[in-house]
Amino acid sequence: MKELFFDESIILLNVAAESKQEILKKMSTNLVEKGLVKPSFIHAILEREEEFATGLPTEGCSVAIPHTDIEHVVHKTISIGILKEPVEFGVMGDDSETTPVKIVFLLAMDEAHSQLSLLQKLMQLFQNQETLKYLYGESSRTNIKNFVKEKLDLSQI
Amino acid sequence: MKKKQVLVACGAGIATSTVVNGAIEDMAKENNLKVDLVQIKISEVGSYEETADLLVTTAMTKKEYPFPVINARSFLTGIGTDDTKKQILEELKK
């Protein structure tokens, strides 16, 4: 099993976007340019978000965890996008509601039904208000990288 | 008591159902309940209509099913997790 790719180049700070489509395009295009996902990933992510929204209102700020089928992924990674101004995402499992999302965790997984502990740690990460506040206020991508790596227990990479 | 078949479904069957699946597994163990957990995409639920006892999902369900449906978003957000766990346990103990 390949390790998760995670470094500064897939952490985008202070991203200006008017809509969920715009932020999703920016983040997935970045992954395409890095060769981590196939070009088809961009369309697949946008389409999936329309069909199954991934916005999550948490105790802190709202987050979104867009993801799509494994066939579009070359190398497993989690890209983090922190928005300059929140954009509205549909709420997961609820067609009628939207939520202002500040932080996007774009998941590119290359295996279905796996990575339980990694995903659990990721969920714990955004269930913690202090963590979200830190991510939103931090201006160094290296600091964010080290912080998330520690939280997700990625030290082996 | 017959082992209950519980479907755990999300849009892609990749990320959120994995987390929910893990949470139910832990719950079943804690309560000594035997559960047959099936992790699927929401689009696949139809083929389990005959056998399933419960559907736990993070995705939107537009259809009516012959078994109860519980929304599991709380396992991801941390808001209302205890209530969701209680609901699931009640169904499993039926």
Q: Give the CATH number of the domain where residue A50 resides.
A: 3.40.930.10
Q: What is the mean pLDDT of residues A107-126?
A: 84
In the predicted model, what is the mean pLDDT of chain A?
92
**Which residue positions in chain B have pLDDT lower than 50?**
none
Share of chain A above pLDDT 90, in %: 74
Measured between CA atoms, the residue of chain B closest to residue A58 is B77
| Domain presence at residue A147 | yes
Does residue A120 carry a pLDDT above 90? no
Q: What is the DSSP string of A40-102?
A: HHHHHHHHHHHHS--EE--SSSEEE-----GGGBSS-EEEEEEEEEEEEEEETTEEEEEEEEE
What's the pLDDT score for residue A155?
62
Closest chain B C-alpha to A142 CA, distance in angstroms: 26
Would an 8 Å CB–CB cutoff place A77 in contact with chain B?
A: no
Instruction: Tally the domains of chain A.
Output: 1
What's the pLDDT score for residue B1?
67
| Phi, psi (deg, nearest 5) at residue B55 | -120, 125
Binary contact (B14, A109; C-beta < 8 A): yes
Predicted-complex ipTM score: 0.81
Binary contact (B15, A123; C-beta < 8 A): no
Q: How big is chain B by its Cα radius of gyration, in Å?
A: 12
Q: What is the pTM of this model?
A: 0.90
| Domain presence at residue A1 | no
Binary contact (B11, A52; C-beta < 8 A): yes
Tell me which CATH homologous superfamily contains domain B4-93: Response regulator (3.40.50.2300)
What's the pLDDT score for residue A66?
94
What's the pLDDT score for residue A20?
98
| Domain presence at residue A66 | yes
Q: Which structural domain, as residue segments, surrounds residue A95? A: 8-151
Residue B40: strand pairing partners: B9
Q: What is the DSSP letter of A37?
A: B
Of A95, A66, A96, A68, which is closest to residue A81 (Cα–Cα)?
Answer: A66
Confidence of residue A150 (pLDDT cuts 50, 70, 90): very high
